Amino acid sequence: MKTTLSGALIIVLASTACSSQSPDDADTSTNNPSPSASYSEFPSEPSATVVALAAEVIGMTEAVAIQTIEGISSEQLTARVVRRDGESYAITEDYSLSRINLEIENGIVTKTYIG
């Protein structure tokens, strides 16, 4: 019984492994829809608002800086503390034109950068 079951399993595996379609037969047509936007339509530089705001919050307290950044209604901006009192935090390496990174010393924003 064990031999018959093993033999049947080998036959099934062999027949599926020897299928007539190879990876080279895959559909490679170019009839796929193209994206609706090109890379040139996406901004590659931060807006003037983000650049000005990043400079403006230096010297503010952490709470006021975050409230100022995230309170801008014309753009959906985010603030992220990346360093506080000499301790750097683990952060993602993605780049966002709408995020202002903050470095804080004694509760005051001392450095900012966009990303």
Distance, C-alpha 96 to centroid of its chain: 8
The b/e string for 4-26 (b: 16+ C-beta within 10 A; e otherwise) is eeeeeeeeeeeeeeeeeeeeeee
Q: Output the pLDDT for position 78.
A: 95
Q: Other CB atoms closer than 10 Å to residue 41's CB: what's the count?
A: 8
Q: Output the pLDDT for position 3.
A: 53
Tens digit of pLDDT at every position of the chain (115 positions): 555 555 555 555 555 555 555 555 555 555 655 556 555 677 789 999 999 999 999 999 999 999 999 998 788 999 999 999 999 999 999 999 999 999 999 999 999 999 9
Q: Which CATH superfamily is domain 44-114 in?
A: Trypsin Inhibitor V, subunit A (3.30.10.10)
Q: Is the pTM of this model over 0.75?
A: no
Domain ranges (residues) in the chain? 44-114
